Structures are given as structure tokens and as C-alpha cells.
């Protein structure tokens, strides 16, 4: 019976579907089939099956993979390495790391051209070791030779290690985001991945503690001559705490505990510290007194940010502040070799150890991740100190005999 045009249409009965559908897309002579299924609200499709049986088996595998999670894991591992690397640079390196410009440079020059759109699942330990060999075979421009022709040299082991560390950080980022179950660099191990780099033990930039005292005295004189009284407290803090320049310039008065004789390093300039963590550093009574006098004499009272060491305008020093000019002038007046501002951190570490401080405490004061790293980088003791310490070893000779018998002209 025909339905009345005024009769309300009955609602269509909901059709119960299975997990997915098999769709015939070919012809009778050239049959082809596709499968279609839903993952949440997203509809997915795969085509190119020659028989309905093949399509049904593929659909069953998809269903099983979704139920046990293997399909999602495989799909995440299929994301391209360069895509994850660009995400790491944008979301982690740029907002959080001071080395971002170097990371971007190494990624563009070495990492992306090699890995490109390689799926993460294909970045195996073997492929990473091949990448290391590739870096060792690369060269860079190094000026010109004696004949004026462009000169090229191999990348140094330190440069290769920096690039490998970048790859390791990107892969760990992929693990954090669930693209990989584990980083292939972790399966290699840091000791097996990185190239050995010889780091010679250097003498302290300033050989004697009294020379540091003379430097500070000259810096005070320079400050009085140039009407910059804040120069002495700043440089004194660097040699008494071992803080980096940016950490000193970012120090706030609430971070200074006069009673407890301790400062808390929370930032470098306006950003995070080098390792992104806070640390406390004890300071001696001499430094406490210098800071108390400095706070009373500060015409800016720290400025809006309550800075301990503001610039001549009461604001934060820029990263390009040429503090080294003051230090060099003081070195010239003291007849000492010119040193960098960062060398004052080396002085602190060396004299701390030579005064009887232990390596573990020094590691905490400097903010390093391990005492072994501190000893490797800053364990440079002066020759005079080592000679004096050698006298600690003494072996008294037995009575009526010599300690070392002569072997000249006799049997032994």
C-alpha cells in the first residue's frame, strides 16, 4: 500500500555493524576489496586486497592489534624521525635550553639530512652506530692552507658527541610521548655510544690564592674610579661561590640567607639554570659581610626584580655584558695573565679542593650531575700543591740498612 504523503516517516532502525566493513571496489574480471573501520571517532580505510578472504584476514588483524595495543604502538613507531626532532626543537629545546641555537644548527646540518623521514621503528642501534661512523667521516671548513686553498678537517670527537647527544635527546623525547617503548641509544649505552675525548688536566687559571685577593683589590679600585661599587661584590661572589656568570646576575635578594650563610641558585639571568635544577651553595663569612655592605649601599635596592647585582641602571645585565673588560684591566694591573670570567669558577673549584674540601661537596656546590664529572673537569690542582701533598707518603728505612739496596756491580 502506498504511504500517505502526510504520514510521518518511521525512524530507520539502527543497523548493528560488526567491527568493520569489507567493500568491493573492483570489477567482476578484476576483483578488488577494501576494508573500513572506526577507531573512536576516526574512520580508517585500507585498500588493495585481491580477494575477500585477504580483506577479512586483514580486518581481523587490525581488530586484534587494537585490542592488545600492538597496532597503536606500531603506528606510533611509524612516525618520521624528522617530525619528532622538529617537535623536540620547538616544544623542548627552544623554550627550555640555552643551547637551542646549537641544537638547531646541528639538527639542520647533520641529523635531518641523514635520518630524514625514516620511521622511528627503523632507527635501530645499528643505524645509530652507522650514523656515528658517518659523522666521523665528515669534514668541515678550517680556513686556508699555506697555498691559500680551502682547508677541511674532520669533525672532532667532541663535536661528534654533541650531535650524538642531540639524537639521544630526541629519541628519549619519543619515548616520553609514547612513540617508542625504549630508546635505541639506551640499549647501546652512553659509554659505548660516545667517542673518547681526552681532557687534559689544567692548572688553575690563577696559581695562588693571594693572587685572587690582589685581583679583587684591583677590581675594588676600578669600581671606585668608575663609580661602579657593585663590581667588587659581583666578582667576589663568583670566586667565593663558584657560580656561573648568568647565575650570579640572576640572583635575587630573597635567595640569600645571611643567617644561614647560604644562597640558593634558582636561575641563570631570567631563565633556568644550565641543568634546569635549583641548588644551594654555602658562602664564607667574608662573602656574607661583603653582601651585607653591598645591600646597604645599593642605590637601586635591587630594582623591581630585587636583583643582588643589577647593572648601572638598576636592571638585569644582558647576556652580552662585557664584564671581562673589568677583569682584564685588573689582571693587567696585577701583572697576571688575562683570564675569562668563567675561569673564576675554575679558581673556586681548584682552591676548594686544595684547601681540603671533598669532591662530593664540590659537585653539589657547582651543580654537576656526578662527582666523577666534577673531578674530570675541575680537578686541576697546582703543581706546588701536588708537590707538597706528595710529602704525605713516607716510608722510614729499617734500622742498619738502606731503604733501596744498590744493584750496581752486584747481584740482585
199 in a domain, yes or no?
no
Q: Which of 211, 209, 115, 222 shows the shortest CA–CA distance to 170? A: 115
400 in a domain, yes or no?
no
Please tell me whether residues 357 and 213 are part of one structural domain: yes
Give the count of domains, the chain.
3
Please tell me whether residues 245 and 367 are part of one structural domain: yes
Please tell me whether residues 259 and 381 are part of one structural domain: yes
10 in a domain, yes or no?
no
The domain in which residue 155 lies consists of: 81-193
Assess contact for 287 and 240: CB atoms under 8 A.
yes
Please tell me whether residues 121 and 269 are part of one structural domain: no
Residue 149 exposed, middle or buried by CB count within 10 Å (0-12, 13-18, 19+): exposed
**Which residue, 8, 37, 68, sits at the end of a domain?**
68
Please tell me whether residues 280 and 332 are part of one structural domain: yes
What are the residues whose beta carbons fall under 8 Å from the beta carbon of 169, sequence distance 6 or more? 88, 92
pLDDT in tens, the chain (412 residues): 555 555 555 544 434 446 788 888 888 888 888 888 777 667 878 888 888 888 888 888 877 766 766 655 555 556 889 999 999 999 999 888 878 999 999 999 999 999 998 988 889 999 999 999 999 999 988 877 777 788 888 999 999 999 999 999 999 999 888 788 889 999 999 889 999 987 666 677 888 889 999 999 999 999 999 999 899 999 999 999 999 999 999 999 999 999 999 999 999 998 888 888 899 999 999 999 999 999 999 888 878 899 999 998 889 998 888 899 999 999 999 999 999 999 999 999 988 888 888 889 999 999 988 888 787 776 656 566 666 677 677 677 666 655 444 444 444 4
Assess contact for 212 and 153: CB atoms under 8 A.
no
Please tell me whether residues 177 and 222 are part of one structural domain: no
Please tell me whether residues 224 and 178 are part of one structural domain: no
232 in a domain, yes or no?
yes
406 in a domain, yes or no?
no
Distance CA 372, CA 363 (A): 9
Please tell me whether residues 260 and 344 are part of one structural domain: yes
Please tell me whether residues 216 and 331 are part of one structural domain: yes
Please tell me whether residues 267 and 380 are part of one structural domain: yes
397 in a domain, yes or no?
no
**Which residue, 68, 91, 108, sits at the end of a domain?**
68
CATH number of the domain to which 98 belongs: 1.10.150
Please tell me whether residues 248 and 278 are part of one structural domain: yes
Assess contact for 376 and 200: CB atoms under 8 A.
no
CATH number of the domain to which 322 belongs: 1.10.443.10
Q: Contacts by 333-339 with C-beta closer than 8 Å and gap 24+?
A: 333/218, 334/211, 334/214, 334/215, 334/218, 336/206, 336/211, 336/214, 336/215, 337/205, 339/205, 339/206
Please tell me whether residues 248 and 357 are part of one structural domain: yes
403 in a domain, yes or no?
no
102 in a domain, yes or no?
yes
**Which residue, 5, 33, 68, sits at the end of a domain?**
68
Amino acid at each position: 500500500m502506498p504511504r500517505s504523503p502526510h504520514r510521518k516517516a518511521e525512524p530507520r532502525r539502527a543497523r548493528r555493524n560488526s567491527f568493520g566493513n569489507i567493500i568491493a571496489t573492483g570489477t567482476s574480471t578484476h576483483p578488488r576489496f577494501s576494508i573500513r573501520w572506526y577507531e573512536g571517532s576516526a574512520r580508517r580505510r585500507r585498500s588493495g586486497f585481491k580477494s575477500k578472504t585477504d580483506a577479512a584476514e586483514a580486518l581481523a588483524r587490525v581488530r586484534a592489534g587494537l585490542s592488545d595495543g600492538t597496532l597503536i604502538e606500531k603506528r606510533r613507531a611509524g612516525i618520521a624521525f624528522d617530525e619528532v626532532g622538529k617537535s623536540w626543537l620547538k616544544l623542548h629545546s627552544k623554550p627550555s635550553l640555552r643551547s637551542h641555537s646549537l641544537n638547531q644548527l646541528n639538527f639542520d646540518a647533520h641529523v635531518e639530512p641523514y635520518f630524514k623521514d625514516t620511521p622511528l621503528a627503523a632507527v635501530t642501534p645499528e643505524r645509530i652506530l652507522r650514523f656515528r661512523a658517518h659523522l666521523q667521516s665528515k669534514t668541515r671548513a678550517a680556513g686556508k692552507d699555506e697555498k691559500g686553498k680551502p682547508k677541511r678537517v674532520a669533525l672532532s670527537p667532541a663535536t661528534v658527541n654533541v650531535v650524538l647527544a642531540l639524537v639521544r635527546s630526541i629519541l628519549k623525547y619519543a619515548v616520553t610521548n609514547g612513540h617508542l617503548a625504549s630508546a635505541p641509544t639506551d640499549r647501546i649505552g652512553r659509554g659505548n655510544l660516545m667517542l673518547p675525548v681526552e681532557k687534559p688536566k689544567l692548572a688553575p687559571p690563577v696559581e695562588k690564592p693571594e693572587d685572587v685577593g690582589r685581583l679583587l683589590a684591583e677590581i675594588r679600585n676600578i669600581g671606585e674610579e668608575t663609580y661602579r661599587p657593585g663590581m667588587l661584590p659581583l666578582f667576589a661572589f663568583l670566586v667565593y661561590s663558584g657560580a656561573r656568570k648568568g647565575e650570579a646576575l640572576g640572583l635575587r635578594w630573597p635567595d640569600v640567607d645571611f643567617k644561614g650563610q647560604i644562597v640558593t641558585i634558582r636561575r641563570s639571568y631570567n631563565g633556568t639554570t644550565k641543568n634546569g635544577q635549583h641548588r644551594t651553595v654555602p658562602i664564607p663569612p667574608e662573602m656574607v659581610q661583603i653582601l651585607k655592605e653591598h645591600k646597604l649601599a645599593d642605590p637601586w635596592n635591587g630594582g623591581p626584580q630585587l636583583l643582588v647585582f643589577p647593572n648601572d641602571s638598576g636592571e638585569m645585565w644582558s647576556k652580552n655584558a662585557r664584564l671581562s673588560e673589568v677583569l682584564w684591566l685588573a689582571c693587567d694591573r696585577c701583572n697576571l695573565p688575562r683570564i675569562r670570567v668563567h675561569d673564576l669558577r675554575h679558581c673556586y673549584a681548584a682552591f676548594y679542593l686544595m684547601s681540603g674540601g671533598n669532591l662530593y661537596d664540590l659537585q653539589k656546590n657547582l651543580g654537576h650531575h656526578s662527582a666523577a664529572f666534577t673531578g674530570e673537569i675541575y680537578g686541576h690542582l697546582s703543581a706546588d700543591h701536588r708537590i707538597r701533598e706528595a710529602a704525605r707518603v713516607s716510608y722510614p728505612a729499617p734500622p742498619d740498612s738502606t731503604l733501596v739496596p744498590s744493584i750496581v756491580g752486584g747481584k740482585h
